[in-house]
């Protein structure tokens, strides 16, 4: 009797292990690394549902996408292959060829019901195509042509659908419907509708690709989320926080629906941003801190994104994974989880063994976008800007990618090995080779981010005027000593350091790394056109103690030309090891720890 019972339990356990999981892949849009609460980069972001997903699974601190732009990033995700293999190098190189095998097609062949909701973006015509050609592509390259049984495809206001939100099939799919409600709400409702329909097929696994169109511009102020954001922040930042909060609440609704339909224990969930936040031009309010750079750059700020996965019983809960992973791994992991044979055409790896303790072989990740290219083999990252600039970084360095942290001269052998691997990879692409020229706009992006050029550490001379490159000290003295800028008051008035020539458009984020004592300090600023410091232009902050960091957001949209950093009252000496000022149009930084 006991042996029979054990046999039954063993068979049941084997059947459970062999069951194909449901797969839910969620892609947000222009969502910076800082805007995942669990990453701990910004105190204003609130993502309780995403944080809960991370607690139930794994948070990848070095999760990447294949491109710093929407179309190629989505092509890489959907195919599991570097998008350059099929020629979708950037937003102007669409659509995704029908000959490419998508993840939906792979899973559909394995018996899955497949559905897509939200932004698709893989039906875009190539640059220079006629309007008629673009319209034709709109019909012929939609998700239902790429392996999806169902779709509710659209970014804003109108959607091409196979089913209405009531769950009923439309007469001539995919039909165009309009819905003027806030886009995240509509897209969440469509995802819930797809899940409701799965009740009719309880034994059939499903794959849902939910692509929320947020916090990408155009920005909105959706309620009830916008009213809950801090009023002192710039409007764009508040709008981004509201849109991210809407996605976060939508995630909670989706996960509750999974529980309702009995799918919460056998669903593999991924949440990933499609690329970093844009900071210049049309800032969408999202932040990439502490990474440098933005959308449109192969720097960490452009390609490193929020990245979370969960699967109860298969991914250890509460894990934090610090090795690099990439969106290509979604397809490889899903294919393995579905019981399909490994396909060498896939460029990603199955993450499940790695997350469960298996020894992982070293891997190299690659990027080629516009006039930029990069290769990452933990912890080193080689960046090529055209054929004239090479940079080598240790991505675990807290100082990030900057002209000061470039290791090319110290580790030329590492750079040479990575460059050879990058060249070999590039030779396998549809258009082979690496960029041979550097776009002027890209050059400006890297320079303003401080990656190819940053202000030299200033020599501060107390009590006299200084050039725009320097900080000056008033009501005290400031000197470079013992690896820091030491600020000592000389009387009852608080000492402060000041600098003109900031010339960065707000909103600005200031990051101070302390050296010595702390206390209540403040920052004041003067914008372009103002001849004096106004009482309203002041923000209080806690001056950081030795080795600690403080982040300050200045709620100003105009160009800031002059800053004062004011030390605590009471004659308390303070110090700074480093100072960074970041805005949508660039960044300036000072390292006081070395000359």
* Of 121, 160, 216, 562, catalytic: 121
Region label for 13, one of left (φ > 0), alpha (ψ between -120 and 50) or beta (otherwise): alpha
| Paired tokens of 79 | 């195919």
List of residues 6+ apart from 135 with CB closer than 8 A: none
| Paired tokens of 431 | 């258009």
Active site (annotated) includes residue 378: no
Among residues 97, 246, 225, 240, the alpha carbon closest in space to that of 183 is found at: 246
Active site (annotated) includes residue 473: no
What does DSSP assign to residue 448?
Answer: H
Q: Are strands 58-60 and 319-321 parallel, antiparallel or unpaired?
A: parallel
Q: State the burial class of residue 417 (Cβ atoms within 10 Å of its Cβ: 0-12, 13-18, 19+).
A: middle
Which secondary-structure segment (H or E) carries 25?
strand 22-28
Among residues 32, 64, 60, the alpha carbon closest in space to that of 364 is found at: 64
Q: How many whole angstroms separate alpha carbon 21 and alpha carbon 427?
A: 37
Q: How many whole angstroms separate alpha carbon 239 and alpha carbon 260?
A: 31
Q: Are 373 and 424 in contact (CB under 8 A)?
A: no
> 3-class SS at 542?
strand
Q: How many whole angstroms separate alpha carbon 407 and alpha carbon 391?
A: 7
Q: Are 472 and 466 in contact (CB under 8 A)?
A: yes
Rg (CA), the chain: 26
Give the sign of the dihedral formed by CA 69, CA 75, CA 78, CA 83. Answer: negative
| Paired tokens of 199 | 């009740």
Q: Are 513 and 491 in contact (CB under 8 A)?
A: no
* Of 70, 160, 163, 380, catalytic: 70
Q: What are the backbone angles phi and psi of residue 154, rounded to the nearest 5°?
A: 165, 155
Among residues 320, 153, 182, 329, the alpha carbon closest in space to that of 244 is found at: 182
**Residue 390: cis peptide before it, omega within 30 degrees of 0:** no
Q: Are 518 and 545 in contact (CB under 8 A)?
A: yes
Among residues 533, 490, 538, the alpha carbon closest in space to that of 479 is found at: 490
**Residue 22: cis peptide before it, omega within 30 degrees of 0:** no
Q: Are 367 and 137 in contact (CB under 8 A)?
A: no
Q: How many whole angstroms separate alpha carbon 127 and alpha carbon 140?
A: 17
**Dmax over Cα atoms in the chain, in whole Å?**
93
Q: How many whole angstroms separate alpha carbon 232 and alpha carbon 44?
A: 11
Which of the residues are catalytic?
70, 121
């Amino acid at each position: 009797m006991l042996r029979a019972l054990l046999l039954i339990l063993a068979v049941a356990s084997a059947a459970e292990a062999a069951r194909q999981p449901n797969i839910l892949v969620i892609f947000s849009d222009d969502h910076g690394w800082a805007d995942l609460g669990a990453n701990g980069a910004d105190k204003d972001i609130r993502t309780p549902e995403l944080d809960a997903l991370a607690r139930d699974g794994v948070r990848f601190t070095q999760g990447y996408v294949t491109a710093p732009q929407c179309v190629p990033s989505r092509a890489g995700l959907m195919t599991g292959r570097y998008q350059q293999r099929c020629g979708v190098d950037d937003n102007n190189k669409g659509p995704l060829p029908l000959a490419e095998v998508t993840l939906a097609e792979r899973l559909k062949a394995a018996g899955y019901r497949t559905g897509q909701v939200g932004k698709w973006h893989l039906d875009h015509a190539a640059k220079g195509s006629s309007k008629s050609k673009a319209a034709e592509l709109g019909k012929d390259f939609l998700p239902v042509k790429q392996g999806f049984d169902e779709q509710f495809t659209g970014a804003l206001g109108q959607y091409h659908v196979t089913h209405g939100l009531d769950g009923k099939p439309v007469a001539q799919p995919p039909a165009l419907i309009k819905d003027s409600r806030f886009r995240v709400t509509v897209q969440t409702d469509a995802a819930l509708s797809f899940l409701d329909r799965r009740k009719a097929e309880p034994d059939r696994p499903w794959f849902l690709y939910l692509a929320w169109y947020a916090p990408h511009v155009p920005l909105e102020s959706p309620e009830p989320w916008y009213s809950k954001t801090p009023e002192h922040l710039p409007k764009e930042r508040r709008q981004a926080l509201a849109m991210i909060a809407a996605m976060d609440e939508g995630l909670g609704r989706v996960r509750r629906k999974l529980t309702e339909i009995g799918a919460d224990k056998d669903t593999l969930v991924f949440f990933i941003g499609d690329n970093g936040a844009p900071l210049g031009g049309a800032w969408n309010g999202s932040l990439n801190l502490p990474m440098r750079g933005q959308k449109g750059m192969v720097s960490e700020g452009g390609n490193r994104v929020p990245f979370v996965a969960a699967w109860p019983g298969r991914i250890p809960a509460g894990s934090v994974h610090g090795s690099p992973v990439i969106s290509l791994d979604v397809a490889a992991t899903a294919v393995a989880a579905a019981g399909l044979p490994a396909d060498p055409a896939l460029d990603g790896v199955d993450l499940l063994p790695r997350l469960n303790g298996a020894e992982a072989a070293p891997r190299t990740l690659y990027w080629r976008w516009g006039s930029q290219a990069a290769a990452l083999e933990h912890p080193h990252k080689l960046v090529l800007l055209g054929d004239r600039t090479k940079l080598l970084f240790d991505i675990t360095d807290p100082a990030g990618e900057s002209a000061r942290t470039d290791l090319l001269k110290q580790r030329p052998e590492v750079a040479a090995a990575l460059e050879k691997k990058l060249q070999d990879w590039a030779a396998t692409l549809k258009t082979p080779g690496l960029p041979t020229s550097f776009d002027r706009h890209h050059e400006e992006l890297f320079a303003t981010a401080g990656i190819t050029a940053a202000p030299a550490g200033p020599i501060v001379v107390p009590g006299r005027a200084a050039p725009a490159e320097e900080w000056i000290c008033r009501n005290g003295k400031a000197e470079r000593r013992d690896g820091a800028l030491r600020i000592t008051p000389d009387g009852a008035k608080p000492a402060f350091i000041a600098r003109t020539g900031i010339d960065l458009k707000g909103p600005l984020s200031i990051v101070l790394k302390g050296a010595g004592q702390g206390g209540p300090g403040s920052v004041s600023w003067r914008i372009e056109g103002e001849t004096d410091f106004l009482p309203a232009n002041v923000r209080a902050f806690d001056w950081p103690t030795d080795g600690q960091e403080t982040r300050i957001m200045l709620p100003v949209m105009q160009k800031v030309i002059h800053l004062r950093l004011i030390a605590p009252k009471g004659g308390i000496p303070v110090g700074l090891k480093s100072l960074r000022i970041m805005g949508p149009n660039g960044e300036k930084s000072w390292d006081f720890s070395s000359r």
